[in-house]
Amino acid sequence: MQITVKDENKQPKTYETGSYELTWGVMEDVAKEIDLDSLKTGTQAEIMSKAWNMLKGGGTAIKGLFFDIFPQMTEAEFRTVPIKQLVQVIAEVVAYTMEELAAGDEKNAPGLR
């Protein structure tokens, strides 16, 4: 995953991470702020509107997620993250986590589904 922000001189700065393992605590915090089920249906405009309503409540968990993924990013840099990139990173983390959970289910409890 990668994200491009602007540094204190307004110059683009890219952060990259090869992998990220979502922890239970971070997932639980994000799940309290974002209702993923409600973001599965609707037009793109409706989904973005729902996402905006969830985020404008504070987004503390989202910040925590980003600082967990990109620990070298500063608070000032986080404020320059384009929304499109923010959504993309969250989508990648959620998709990867769902794949890992599904793979774990198959491996650890093949009869449960």
The full set of domain ranges for the chain reads: 2-108
pLDDT computed for residue 113 by the predictor = 42
| Interatomic CA distance for residues 90 and 48, integer angstroms | 13
CB 73 within 8 A of CB 67: yes
| Interatomic CA distance for residues 4 and 12, integer angstroms | 6
Verdict on whether the full-model pTM lies above 0.75:
no
Cβ-based neighbour number of residue 109 at 10 Å: 9
User: Digits of tens for pLDDT over the chain (113 positions)?
Assistant: 889 999 888 999 999 988 777 788 877 787 777 776 777 777 888 877 777 777 776 577 888 888 888 999 999 999 899 888 888 887 787 777 777 777 765 555 454 44
| Interatomic CA distance for residues 55 and 49, integer angstroms | 10
Count of all residues that appear for the chain in the document: 113
Cβ-based neighbour number of residue 92 at 10 Å: 13
| Interatomic CA distance for residues 88 and 38, integer angstroms | 17
pLDDT computed for residue 111 by the predictor = 47
Position 99: which residue type?
E
Position 23: which residue type?
T
